[in-house]
Chains A and B, each alone.
Chain A
Amino acid sequence: MKDSEILQRISKGDEQVLDYLYKKYYGMMTRVVLSNSGSEEEAKDVYQEALVAFWQKAAKGDLVLTSKISTYLYSICLNQWRKELDKKSRRQEEEVDEGYYQSYESEERSKIVHACIEELGEVCRKVLTHYYFDGMNMQEIAAKLDFANTDTAKTKKYKCKKKLDQLIKNRYSTEDFFD
């Protein structure tokens, strides 16, 4: 599959391309981490992060490739692993500080949001995640989810977002949420 075809298919939300890329470059990308004192699990995490970041950019149409996809992915993996090694060395030097409690709090918050997203129906989840993560516009969402037209997608997105806001607000008042 050519790079141009890959980008075109990603812009249409074809997730099978993601599987294809993952399998195709798994060995090459994980080697970046494995050969730089990383474990198999860390290598997999780094590669998955890189590939998902690539997917998001390509799906949004933000990506202007000046190299091959493999080169691009390789550079993301390399940077990602450098950052990770940096974090690791800092973690060893510093003791657990306030940052730990802050991240715990934000983790709790995201758990609440996550639970409420789970409560939404599948269609709502797809509409909202395609809009907010994949950066799809209403026309693309309508095509991807077989809606009659763009207006249907717009209405659906509005209602789904309202529903999610309400679910989260019902569970925790906004004040509690940010206490």
Chain B
Amino acid sequence: MTSLEEKIDKYHTERMSASERDSFEQELASDPSIRAESEFQESIIEGLKDFRKAELKNRLNAVDLSPAWFEFAQQSTLMKSFGGIAVATLIGTGVYLLADRSPSSKNEDPIEVDHPQLALNLNLLDLAPYNLQIKEPGIFQDEVTSSNISAAVTQEIDNENSFLDLSETAEEGTSFEPIFNAPEAELISDEEALKISQLDVLPETTIEEEEAPLEVDYEISKNLDIKYKYYDGKLFLSGDFDRAPYEILEINSAQGRRIYVKYLNKFYQVNTTDRLTRLPEVKNVEVIKELELLRVNK
């Protein structure tokens, strides 16, 4: 940077000392060409400032001002108490449902345990579904001693869903030994037994190996073309979004992150670029079908 440019730059960015400033102002007053260049540079600097200001205001316009529910809850003690009770209830219900969940949706009569000592959590291993009934008829009717418990344990296995035949009857007069229905190791390795419902298998493309969350910013423009920039995990959109809301589809897979924008029933693909570029529309019917499917199932 030449000395004059440097001086003008310092002058307009207030990076000059008082004496430097005075001497430069004298130069400005005496030389019209310096004055013209200074005014030209001032316009550019003002333009840059306005640009940045507009950028920051755009950012503020995109801030969601609706209070989040937890912020609302923070505002009053009553809401805090209510929130606490609600959370506790939710956790309780969740734990109950998880603990009580049958291994199979087909299992209408899942597990009956008549003996309190056998009240085991049978859901520890979410393996193949089975029905188990353990009965010990004498235990509550008769006098019970610790050394001699009259127990008859029967187990009924739902043949349709099970891979274990645990039907056994304990001999009369022997001390009661609960039979744990843990599957045997060799049976666990049975591929059929370990088969997971297809519904539980997520498509490969939705493996969420989370990168930094996508940051989306936008501006409303009257231009019908949607333009965008995408770099550093930040997506900036510019277009006439007054007509309908847009949707962002973010697909994280082993191949990396893919981003699509859906607007007015059209899909657009986002590629990495730091230039304001027209958003390319996805034309491939197969890709559109796949995206619709993902969208519906997300």
Contact = CB atoms under 8 A, between A and B. Distances in A.
Contact of A168 (B44, B59, B60, B231): B44
B13 A158 contact: no
Nearest to A111: B47
Contacts of B47: 110, 113-114, 116-117
A63 interface: no
Contacts of A15: 56, 59
A137 to B, nearest CB: 9
Given A121-B275, A122-B275, A133 B231 contact: no
Interface in A91-121: 109-110, 113-114, 116-118, 121
A22 B60 CA distance: 7
A133 B276 CA distance: 22
A23 B63 contact: yes
B51 A18 contact: no
Contacts, number: 82
A48 interface: yes
A145 B51 CA distance: 18
Interface stretch (B35-43, B136-144, B247-255, B259-267): B35-43
Contact of A132 (B45, B229, B274): B45
B97 interface: no
A121 B276 CA distance: 9
Nearest to A122: B274
A72 interface: no
B249 to A, nearest CB: 24
Contacts of B39: 178
A133 B231 CA distance: 22
Contacts of A110: 43, 46-47, 50
Contact of A177 (B43, B45, B229): B43
A123 interface: yes
Given A15-B56, A113-B46, A125-B51, 11 more contacts: A48-B60, A110-B43, A113-B43, A113-B48, A114-B47, A117-B47, A122-B229, A123-B274, A129-B49, A132-B49, A164-B44
> Which 10 residue pairs are nearest across A and B when measured between Cβ atoms?
A113-B47, A122-B274, A133-B52, A129-B52, A132-B48, A133-B49, A19-B63, A117-B51, A22-B60, A52-B56
Interface of B: 1, 9, 13, 36-37, 39-40, 43-53, 55-57, 59-61, 63-65, 229, 231, 274-276
22 contacts: A15-B56, A19-B60, A19-B63, A22-B63, A23-B64, A23-B65, A48-B57, A48-B60, A48-B61, A51-B60, A52-B53, A52-B57, A52-B60, A110-B47, A123-B274, A132-B48, A132-B49, A133-B53, A161-B9, A164-B48, A165-B44, A178-B39
